[in-house]
Chains A and B, each alone.
Chain A
Amino acid sequence: MPLVNVPQPTWKEKLKRFFMIDLLEGMRLTLKFNVGALTDKNSVTGKGIYTEQYPKVRPNVAPRFHGAPRLNMDPETHESLCIACNLCALACPEDCIDVIPMDIEIMTAGKARKKKVLDEFIFDTSRCMFCALCQEACPTACLELTQEFELATYSRAGFVWDREMLEQGRETRKFEA
């Protein structure tokens, strides 16, 4: 049975209503925020402003955030760590990685041998769901999903990253703080 118990207003509540205390309370709150925003010395991260000033101030992404892919390089020799094993392409549930290897002749212990190295690496970020399974599959810690998150481009073709973009990182516009 839908019983709604509506008590009669007490004398105090009636007085509150007569002097419109609740309306004034609301106005006090908005004024407090207005004054707080105006007296805020550092209006970007101060106490009066709670919004994120995105292009000016970079947001702090979560430590486990997966963003733009990157092919890591050996910090000393600046050669790609990728051994073209194709494990990432096999691990990818979205099938968005293409590893194109090539054979090169190298001399090992005086003998001419063929070695499979990376020729081209195609990563389609428009199909990627950032699960980072490729990152887990990589035996040399080469492929990594970084915390870079600005992936928007002007065309669909721009979503397909080639080896150079994956190694150098895409050029993004930086705003001054």
Chain B
Amino acid sequence: MTMDIFALFAPPNLIDSFLLKFFAPETMNYVVWPFIQIGAVATVLAGWAAYASYLERKISAFMQARLGPMRVGPWGLLQPIADAIKLMTKEDLTPDDADPFIFKYAPYISVVAAFIVFAVIPFAPDWGVITDINIGLLFVLSVSSVGVLALILAGWSSNSKYALLGGLRSSAQMVSYEVSMGLSLVGALMFARTLSLSGIVQAQGLDSIWYFFYQPLGFVIFFISGIAENNRAPFDLPEAESELVAGFHTEYSGMRWSLFFMAEYAAMIVVSAVAVTLYLGGWYFPGTWRLMASYPVLYVFVSLFIFVSKTAILLYLYFWFRWTFPRYRYDQLMDLGWKWMIPASLVNIVWTALAIFVVQALNGWGGLRTIQSLTHGVNLTWAGKIIMVAFGFGGLFVTAAVLSMLNWRSRDFNLKKHRRQVRLVNSPKGQTAVASITKAVTSDG
């Protein structure tokens, strides 16, 4: 009886048995099913990206005590569709002196770079992943950083000063934050011991913990770098509307502009999805397998729902940050990237290695067992987990201490120092604090 109800959740099996009448099983596994998955993922994610823009407008409105789009459909729910129709019917302008070929194809690069990452992201177990390659994470990093090429090409080919400045800024920003993003992942990889994204999720499931608890610092660094990599506020320097009009897409209009827009939201979903996979357990949630072990199809759907909810929460964080924090100045952005994020991620690697070493060394010391197995990622016992989580959250303070030591002298080049120097005018005579400022001030008064 119950099985009959759950048969409703089994369309994949029905489709499989239907299509097997026409195709060989090998064709089914390696050609037909991947195409179906790709079609489903591309469609759903394009819709998700469109509705992310709706949600962004709504959430920003709520945070500013407004209502947001309310006219098209109930609660403005059809707004993305109306937007799409408007953008598609708009004229597609190309500036006179633009490089037409590059100008036309730059948006496609950004969309492809954003969407192709979904090929390796495990949305759910079993058939919930399009392809599980063993260098999945490397693929994600390499492909998502191709997106910057589109921005540079768009900025360059527009033959506009605003667009060019936006493109240059975005390239500098992406190069600086790519490093810390890649380095922050190493800590999680030390626990997972694989680059396959499904493997990472399975490792977290087998250890029954989310790597966020082992790697809070890694998660924070990854997420901040991800925001910076997506050019989102407070790091939206490349499209700072108060300085650069619209940055790299100043000259774009119509559908090409909306492709950039879609790529931005898709890239946000990518970063959220990778962060969820690595640090928040992906589709793994404690207890779901125990509840649903006898209904594997339902388990896949529930896992899919869990993954999507986690990603949605991170997307909400994106919106929340954007509508709370003011934009960084350019030198502050570079400061944060090179002086804080990259050293922090390096400290995180060393600290994680130390933590794993300590946990391994404690195993079997005085009857204490910390490690269960090391075959599929690091599997720790309860004692080992407590030690590791303590190390993880203690690492925040250690990193803060190290960073403040590292950046102690860097304040010499800061505005704060400058302000202090003004104060030093009152210092005893014969001691020149800083010659130029003191002279200027004394000559005035």
**C-alpha spacing A88/B438, complex, angstroms:** 70
Are A1 and B441 neighbours in the complex by a CB distance under 8 Å? yes
Residues in B with CB closer than 8 Å to A50 are 65-66
Is B373 engaged at the interface, CB distance under 8 Å to the other chain? no
Report the stretch among B99-107, B165-173, B176-184, B420-428 that lies at the interface.
B420-428
Are B441 and A2 neighbours in the complex by a CB distance under 8 Å? yes
**C-alpha spacing A3/B67, complex, angstroms:** 46
Is A110 engaged at the interface, CB distance under 8 Å to the other chain? no
Residues in A with CB closer than 8 Å to B321 are 27
Closest to B317 in A: A27
Is A43 engaged at the interface, CB distance under 8 Å to the other chain? yes
Interface string of B64-97 (1 = CB under 8 A from A): 1111000000000000000000000000000000
- The residue that A4 contacts in the complex, of B320, B325, B423, with Cβ under 8 A, is B423
With A3-B425, A26-B324, A30-B324 already in contact, the answer to whether A48 and B419 are too (CB < 8 A) is: no
Are B423 and A51 neighbours in the complex by a CB distance under 8 Å? no
Are B420 and A6 neighbours in the complex by a CB distance under 8 Å? yes
**C-alpha spacing A2/B67, complex, angstroms:** 46
Are B67 and A53 neighbours in the complex by a CB distance under 8 Å? yes
Nearest chain B CB to A36's CB is how many angstroms away?
8
Among A2, A37, A50, A51, the most chain B Cβ lie within 10 Å of the Cβ of A37
Is A129 engaged at the interface, CB distance under 8 Å to the other chain? no
- The residue that A49 contacts in the complex, of B59, B66, B419, B422, with Cβ under 8 A, is B66
**C-alpha spacing A86/B416, complex, angstroms:** 71
Are B320 and A49 neighbours in the complex by a CB distance under 8 Å? no
Nearest chain A CB to B63's CB is how many angstroms away?
4
Kindly identify, within residues 431 to 445 of chain B, every residue whose CB is under 8 Å from any CB belonging to chain A: 441, 444-445
With A23-B325, A30-B324 already in contact, the answer to whether A6 and B419 are too (CB < 8 A) is: yes
With A4-B419, A4-B422, A38-B62 already in contact, the answer to whether A43 and B67 are too (CB < 8 A) is: yes
- The residue that B64 contacts in the complex, of A1, A31, A33, A43, with Cβ under 8 A, is A33
**C-alpha spacing A127/B445, complex, angstroms:** 56
Are A30 and B63 neighbours in the complex by a CB distance under 8 Å? yes
With A6-B420, A51-B65, A51-B66 already in contact, the answer to whether A34 and B59 are too (CB < 8 A) is: yes
Interface size class of A (residues with CB under 8 A): 20 to 34
**C-alpha spacing A31/B59, complex, angstroms:** 10
Are B422 and A2 neighbours in the complex by a CB distance under 8 Å? yes
Interface string of A14-51 (1 = CB under 8 A from B): 00001000010011011101101110000100001111
Residues in A with CB closer than 8 Å to B423 are 3-6
Nearest chain B CB to A97's CB is how many angstroms away?
39
- The residue that B63 contacts in the complex, of A6, A34, A53, with Cβ under 8 A, is A34
Residues in A with CB closer than 8 Å to B67 are 37, 43, 49, 51, 53
**C-alpha spacing A31/B62, complex, angstroms:** 9
Kindly identify, within residues 47 to 72 of chain B, every residue whose CB is under 8 Å from any CB belonging to chain A: 59, 61-67
Nearest chain A CB to B275's CB is how many angstroms away?
18
Nearest chain B CB to A113's CB is how many angstroms away?
60
Residues in B with CB closer than 8 Å to A30 are 63, 320, 323-324
Nearest chain A CB to B91's CB is how many angstroms away?
24
Residues in B with CB closer than 8 Å to A27 are 320-321, 324
Closest to B65 in A: A50
Is B400 engaged at the interface, CB distance under 8 Å to the other chain? yes
Residues in B with CB closer than 8 Å to A29 are 324
A-B contact pairs, 29 of them (CB 8 A): A1-B425, A1-B445, A3-B423, A3-B425, A3-B426, A4-B422, A5-B423, A6-B416, A6-B419, A6-B420, A6-B423, A18-B400, A23-B325, A27-B320, A27-B324, A30-B324, A33-B62, A33-B63, A33-B65, A34-B62, A34-B63, A36-B62, A37-B61, A37-B67, A48-B62, A48-B65, A49-B66, A51-B66, A51-B67
3 nearest interchain CB pairs?
A37-B62, A1-B445, A50-B65
